[in-house]
Structure 1
Amino acid sequence: MKKKFIIALSSFTLLGGMAIGAGAAPILEKITANLNWGINYNISGKAWSPVDQNGKKLAAITYNNTTYLPVRSVGEALGVAVDYNGSSQTLTLGEKSDTTPITSEKIEVKYDSFVTKDKQFTVQQDKDYESGVVIKEIFIDQEFTLLPEGKYQTIELSVFPVKMNNKVSLKVFDGDILLKEFEVDSSSGKQTASFDIGGVKKLRFTTDIPNIGFTPQSMFVTGSYK
């Protein structure tokens, strides 16, 4: 329902201050419009105000008896991914047609974890996943962060035990909201999950060991955005 709503809405919304012309050759056409600060907004029964990426309040634009809203702000509020390709002037809402490896976007790692293309880790069950994150030295709680920046609607993850002696819980958070939990041990093999991340800017991955030991453990996490 969210996807259908935002796609319909996109026909009369603006992305930041850019207008996208019709036809094969996009153009910018100067208009005279008004910033409309008098509109109040409700999303799912709760008051809401559109803001830019810096948190500055935005106004709707009224032009020729039509109201235009900032599509990125609306997309984030409704949980719909919004991405704009400046070179092709293409606005994408929701899922993309192609997949993008999680390692193509920024990843923040801590302690001894690392991003890798080493086949020692990327080749799992006779398949080369090409890149991913190795969570290493899991005898203490570890974490890393993916930064999709609200550009993708879905993430598909695969988690593999590399060296496991105890069961380890791998949790994926959007802020304080738990999106997914994997229970990984030496016998768990490959675990996969696909879930909605529309509008999400950061995904935090944390490990938790129910029975703390002193033997370092490790796992490999890979996947793609769409």
Structure 2
Amino acid sequence: MKKKWITAGAAAALLMSTSAGVYAGANLQQIQAFLDPSIKFKVNGKPFQPQNDKGAALAPITYNGSTYLPVRAISNALGVAIDYDGKTNTIFLGEKQDGVPIADSAGGDFRTKDPQLTTYNGKDYKYVFFNNSSGRRSSGFMLYPKGKYQKLYLQTAAVGKDIEEFFVSDSDTDTKLKIDKVNVSDGLKTYEIDISGLQTLYVHADLQEGGNWFVPLTTSYYK
């Protein structure tokens, strides 16, 4: 059922919430269709009302015996990430084929391009988050996927001492998406985390005296 909804949603690309200017140069074909607010929806057994990005109710369109649903509203209801590329006039649903490095959306201190700090096990990662302060401490940084991606593939390593607690959370709801302990012996670990529809993430680690935290920002990525 989910795939059918997504397919129908993709056909309704014109209803995607975006600026009117996006379609100024598009090759559009005029049709006669009808809004049908009488159609009701349920998602996983619960009533669902399609809405635009401002929270206003949207009615499905009926055309030639088929019902077309708003892409963004359905993607949000089904937990499928959505993004739009105005240059290619392409809507992306779910994971992207190519990974997008988190480097541009990472915030916080301890980001560095210093070659003395960006190398781990003989490989230079060019741009990293590296907390090498002293003492027992908590450390973290923000990520801003802005609802555009389905998955986060995050690499992290404990240097010197094990990381007692590591987690990634949805900062808007304070919901932890992944919790783990990172050992030095683990090497560089990669976590696959479902982030569909999430706007802002918080990545956190509790560090011991003599322990450092290494996160490559170029090989950690969204999809």
TM interval, short-chain normalised: 0.7 to 0.9
Tell me by how many angstroms 1:31 deviates.
Answer: 3.5
**Alignment TM-score, normalising by the size of structure 1:** 0.77
* Alpha-carbon shift at residue 182 of structure 1 (Å): 3.0
Task: Measure the CA separation in 1 of the matches of 2:174 and 2:165.
Answer: 16
How many angstroms does 1:169 deviate by?
A: 0.9
- Where does residue 169 of structure 1 map in the other structure? 165
1:118–1:29: structure 2 CA closer, same or farther, 3 Å change rule?
A: farther
Q: Which residue of 2 aligns with 1:141?
A: 138
> Is 1:218 matched with 2:197?
no
State the Cα deviation string for residues 74-126 of structure 1 (Å, max 9, x = none).
1122121211110110111122121110113x2332xxx33333333332112
Distance of aligned partners of 1:186 and 1:52 in 2 relative to their CA distance in 1, 3 Å threshold: same
Alignment deviations for residues 184-203 of structure 1 (CA, whole Å, 9 cap, x no partner): 34444322222332332222
Contact 2:95–2:151 (Cα < 8 Å) also in 1: yes
RMSD of the TM alignment (CA)?
A: 3.0
Contact 2:50 2:74 in 1 (8 A): yes
Letter paired with 2:129 = V
Task: Give the equivalent residue in structure 2 for 1:9.
Answer: 8
CA apart distance, 1:44: 0.9
User: C-alpha distance in 2, partners of 1:69/1:11?
Assistant: 8
Percentage identity across paired residues of the two chains = 36
In structure 1, distance between residues paired with 2:212 and 2:11: 49
Matches within 5 A, 1:1-226: 2=2, 4-5=3-4, 7-14=6-13, 15-16=16-17, 26-104=26-104, 106-109=105-108, 113-135=109-131, 137=133, 139-162=136-159, 164=161, 167-174=163-170, 175-208=173-206, 215=209, 217-222=211-216, 223-226=220-223
Name the CA distance, whole Å, in 1 between partners of 2:222 and 2:174.
Answer: 21
Counterpart residue type for residue 127 of structure 2: S
SS in structure 1 of the partner of residue 73 of structure 2: helix
CA 1:130 to 1:58, structure 2 compared with 1: closer, same or farther past 3 Å?
farther
Letter aligned with residue 108 of structure 1? G
Cα offset, 1:156, TM superposition: 1.2
Shift of 1:26: 4.9
Amino acid at match of 2:200: K
| Aligned CA distance change for structure 1 residues 58 and 136 (closer, same or farther; 3 Å) | farther
Task: Output the CA distance in 1 between the equivalents of 2:4 and 2:174.
Answer: 27
Gapped runs of 5+ residues in structure 2?
A: none
Give the unaligned 5+ runs of structure 1: none
